[in-house]
Amino acid sequence: MIQTEDLTKRFTKSKKEAPITAVDGLTLNVAEGEVFGFLGPNGAGKTTTVRMLTSLIAPSAGRAFVDKLQVGKDDQKIRERVGILTETPGMYERLSAERNLNIFARLYGVKDVPGQVEKYLRMLSLWDRRFDEVGSFSKGMRQKLAIARALLHEPRIVFLDEPTSGLDPEAAKLVRDFIDELKTEGRTIFICTHNLDEADRLCDRIGIFKTRLITVDSPENLREKLFGRKVVFHLQAMLPGLAERVRGLPAVKDAQVVDNRLLVSLEDPEAQNPGIVRALVEAGAGVQFVGELRHSLEDIYLEMIRQEETH
Amino acid sequence: MSERIRTIIGKEWAEVFKNKMVLFTVLFMPLLFTALPLIMLGTMSGAVGADAGDMTDMPAQFARACVGLSSGECMQIYLLNEFMLLFMMMPLIIPITIAAYSVVGEKATRSLEPLLATPITTEELLAGKGLAAVIPGVLATLLCFGLFVALLPLVGVGERIFAYITGPTWLLAVLVAGPLMAVAAVNFALIVSSRVNDPRVAEQLSTIIIVPLLAVLFGSLAGIIVLNVTNMLIGILIMVVADVALVYLGARLFQREVILTRWK
């Protein structure tokens, strides 16, 4: 649904200054119906990438296709087919929520304007406030209205730039649940976010990006690639020499002791756990719980960025 | 007119006229410009008889245009011509303010990016914003001119003065030259608005377009320029060329990428 080949964007401030590369040779494929998380620090070029993919700005080099339409050649058609929640979604503050959506529905050429406006106002729990000026809305309500605006024309591809940025937990959850709902409708969703927990929960794959793409994979695969798979055995008491004994088992790559817990690195925990539990019991250890140690996406992200910076 | 242009016009009006001060200005300024010449004519009508007044201080070029008129009538026409320029300025003042704010204002409220992300073309966007600014100014001018003409008999204006005001020079000025100047002013203001980051700067820079009109006003007062049909037609021709050039330039200079990426 979204393909880029060596997509590059350079900005030239003046003829005297050297151009600044915001996006460097981005090659990426996002499949139809996929939720793709685009992670990176501030100034990494995420918004620039979204702007290129939504035909707001032109690439300096490389190519990009959105729904088989080429950025730079089919810009108007691309804009008809995608929905975008911009990083700072400005609204017409003096106008009502309904009027704001009406304007955009007409600009997108929506056939049933009142119907679509009502649908999304209700969906995002804004129907009762439809006649109120947007200027009186809270940040969460504005964000919901901006999401509604991005979806009025039922785009199959949706770009969400920091959808929950600055929202309180309740509003953020509502937005996340809404994105989850969009996912079930089979839309392709491209999310730029700093919220790693959100990306972990929502995204099928994530791309870690800092001017250039550092890595792309599913959160699970990234965890495995970076940290391997670890299992935590909670024991009644840590027996002396237990870690060494476990390390000696054929399937075990490593074993570490943390208080009464044994952290064991394994290739295939599903197959190897029963043998390890057996070995622990035979050694006289009381196994209380067994669970997989999940590294957070934050760990992955920070590790990838650290590796990128040391290169 | 496309649906998108109509939508932009409706949006601009809804936003602009929600501001009561703008609405007041749109109504007040033209009414003031209409009242001033009427008051002047009213006060002069009693004092100026058919052969009253001295033509010696009148600019020679203008005096030559007064053939067949009494010196009093000539004096009235001379003064009225300066008010003709006010009627030409009327459709400019409000639209300049509206147009100068229209792009930079959307930058300031961050609503420009979502707007540019819609399938609207640059031409449609500029046409919508331009028409939204021009139409109220021109309509207000036409209404005020109608009111001015309707009230002329009440302030004691003679037949020949009435005929002059409803004659080709005034009609060309109010119905053709004024709206053409409004189009030029609005397009100039839109160019400025799309290239600056501060609404105040946009407004101040945009008013530069009034300078040529002021030059005509002072030229007329000094007797260098005589506001007659020939000169009006020349002015209209110049305005048509200026309008075409400014519309073309406006579309060329409205660079979405620059507007989005250079503005902080």
Smallest Cβ distance to A57: which of B7, B109, B261? B261
Closest residue by Cα to residue A150 from B8, B105, B115, B104: B115
The pLDDT of residue A255 = 82
Per the CB < 8 Å rule, is A106 touching B4?
A: yes
CATH of A2-217 among 3.40.50.10860, 3.20.20.140, 3.40.50.300, 3.30.310.50? 3.40.50.300
Structural domain boundaries in chain B: 3-261
Smallest Cβ distance to B15: which of A54, A95, A107? A95
**Alpha-carbon distance A1 to A73, whole Å?**
17
**Alpha-carbon distance A80 to A62, whole Å?**
22
Smallest Cβ distance to B118: which of A79, A92, A146? A79
Report B:232-261 residues touching A (Cβ under 8 A).
256-257, 260-261
| Ordered per-residue pLDDT tens for chain A, 311 residues | 899 999 999 988 777 778 888 899 999 999 998 999 998 888 888 999 999 999 999 999 999 999 999 998 889 999 999 999 988 888 998 999 999 999 999 999 999 999 999 999 998 888 999 999 999 998 888 988 999 999 999 999 999 998 887 778 888 888 888 888 888 888 899 999 877 778 888 888 989 888 888 888 888 787 777 667 788 888 888 888 888 888 888 878 888 888 888 888 887 888 888 888 888 888 888 888 888 877 777 777 777 777 777 76
Per the CB < 8 Å rule, is A56 touching B116?
A: yes
- Averages of pLDDT over runs of 10 residues in chain B (264 residues) are 90 85 77 86 65 60 67 76 82 84 85 92 92 90 90 81 85 90 90 83 81 79 77 90 90 85 65
CB under 8 Å to A193, separation ≥6 — which residues? A37, A38, A39, A160, A162, A163, A164, A165, A199
Give yes or no for a contact between A49 and A57, defined as CB atoms under 8 angstroms apart.
no
Per the CB < 8 Å rule, is B114 touching A56?
A: no
B51 vs A59, A244, B9, B157, CA distance in Å?
76, 125, 52, 15
Minimum Cα–Cα distance from B255: chain A residue: A57
Is B120 within 8 Å of chain A by CB? yes
The pLDDT of residue B263 = 57
Closest residue by Cα to residue A153 from B138, B147, B202, B120: B120
Instruction: Give the fold, CATH level 3, of A228-294.
Output: Alpha-Beta Plaits (3.30.70)
**Alpha-carbon distance A38 to A35, whole Å?**
10
ipTM: 0.80
Task: Please enumerate residues of A whose Cβ is less than 8 A from a Cβ of B.
Answer: 11, 48, 51, 54, 56-58, 76-77, 79-80, 82, 84, 86, 88-95, 99, 103-104, 106-109, 146, 149-150
The pLDDT of residue A258 = 82
Smallest Cβ distance to B109: which of A76, A79, A90? A90
Per the CB < 8 Å rule, is A57 touching B257?
A: yes
Minimum Cα–Cα distance from B7: chain A residue: A103
CB atoms under 10 Å from CB of B119, counted, come to: 18
Q: Which two tokens stand for residue A89?
A: 């979604």
Smallest Cβ distance to B114: which of A11, A82, A86? A86
Where are the CATH 3.40.50.300 domain residues in chain A? 2-217
- The residue count of chain A comes to 311
The pLDDT of residue B264 = 52
The pLDDT of residue A84 = 93
Residues of B in contact with A150 (CB under 8 A): 114
